[in-house]
Amino acid sequence: MKKQLVTFLVYTFSCSFLFGQIEVKEDSTQVTSIQQEEEFIEEEEEMETYSGTRVINGHSVETLHKGVLEFRIEHKFGDMASKGAGINTLYGLDNVSDIRIAFEYGITDKLMCGFGRSRGTGAPYHSLLDGFVKYRLLHQDNKGMPISLSLLGTTSYSYMPASSLITDVSAFPKYVYRFAYTSQLNFAKKFGKKLSLSIMPTLVYRNYVAADDVNALFSIGTAISYAVNSKVSLIVEYYNNIQKESVRSNYQNSLSVAVEWITFGHNFKVYLTNAGGFGETQFIPYTNTDWLKGQFRLGFCISRKYMKE
């Protein structure tokens, strides 16, 4: 597994580098076109809060531009420093927490949608399909609009075989119990050219939960991004679940830190997180690992944008 993963990463980065070189060297006309597109994007990014549609695990306020298709590959490894991990598992690289592949599309400059498939952590679900719609309601500018705001709606569906134990949430006594939903208001503000802040009030609703859980879970996400330069940013993301002390005692809040760097058309992100799953319906309610116990993991995301000529 480790050798296959290393081969995959080397292949991905090599292809990205090779294609980037081909695009630049084809002819002088194409070079001019690329430079013009880069200048256009730089002008647009001066007013953008984040460089991509995600913060780390959760969505950012950003949407794709009209006609832009984005392909995403996301991967999370196993615990790095928990009991039995460390050098024995090469700090989690021997294990897989979750994998996700997705396509996302900008319908207009303000409206986008996406569809993905993830392996699932198995705690409690695996074999997951997810989809979302996001609308950019407000856009921060220099003409009086002080903040950005997006509306997000997501859903996930597990097609795993139902458990034979009726006490398991994956028993799925009814078909609708395979679904979960998220609604989110995503507020963001950029201070100068380097600092961005977000607050994301989020409601997660699951049709079927355990006896010590709740169907409707409210969480407040916060995020901060600092641009080291025009290509590299440092990011922190935290989701604080609002719940009674008598329920969900075995779960933790999601905390993640990341380094992000961008090239023309590509976005690379490497991060540490205690969340195992992908998507708001999974990492918000089902994070059950603790940073203080060494139960955090390495993850990465590679995305590639394709634009209409």
What's the pLDDT tens digit per position in 84-124? 888 888 988 989 999 999 999 999 999 999 999 999 998 89
| pLDDT at residue 309 in the model | 65
* CA proximity to 151, closest of 132, 141, 131, 136: 136
Q: pLDDT for 226-249, tens place per residue? A: 999 989 999 999 999 998 888 898
The secondary structure of the chain in percent helix, strand, coil, rounded to multiples of 5, reads: 20, 40, 40
Would 40 be classed as within a structural domain?
A: no
Split into its structural domains, the chain has a count of 1
The pair phi, psi for residue 221, each rounded to 5°, is -90, 145
Question: pTM for the full model?
Answer: 0.82
On whether residue 16 sits in a domain, the answer given is no
| Contacts of residue 92, Cβ cutoff 8 Å, sequence gap at least 6 | 77, 78, 79, 80, 85, 297, 298
Q: Is residue 1 situated within a structural domain? A: no
Contact 80, 290 (CB under 8 A): no
Say what the pLDDT of residue 76 is.
96
**256, 283 in Cβ contact below 8 A?**
no
How many residues are given for the chain?
Answer: 309
Task: Tell whether 131 is covered by a domain.
Answer: yes
Q: Mean pLDDT, the chain, as a whole number?
A: 86
Q: Where are the beta strands (DSSP E) in 2-63?
A: none
Q: What is the CATH number of the domain that holds 275?
A: 2.40.160.40
User: Does residue 301 belong to any structural domain of this protein?
Assistant: yes
For residue 179, the model assigns a pLDDT of 97
Measured between its terminal Cα atoms, the distance across the chain in Å is: 39
User: 156 has which bridge partners?
Assistant: 130, 180
Q: Which domain holds residue 121?
A: 46-306
Q: What per-residue confidence (pLDDT) applies to 47?
A: 62
Identify the pLDDT of residue 29. 40
pLDDT per position as a tens digit, 190-218: 999 899 999 999 999 999 999 899 999 99
Strands 69-79 and 96-106: antiparallel
- 62 touches 297 (CB < 8 A): no
Rounded distance, CA 110 to CA 91, Å?
A: 41
Top-confidence residue, 63 or 11? 63
**Two tokens, residue 132:** 């979302």
Instruction: Give the Å distances, CA to CA, from 89 to 3, 99, 118, 292.
Output: 13, 18, 23, 19
Which is more confident, 189 or 48?
A: 189
Check the CA dihedral 288-256-260-152 and report its sign: positive
Distance CA(98)–CA(211), nearest Å, equals 26
CA distance 127 to 57: 18
Domain-embedded: residue 7: no
Domain membership flag for residue 261: yes
Residue 296 · residue 289 · CB < 8 Å:
yes
**52 domain residue, yes or no:** yes
- What does the angle CA 203 – CA 254 – CA 181 come to, to the nearest 5 degrees? 25
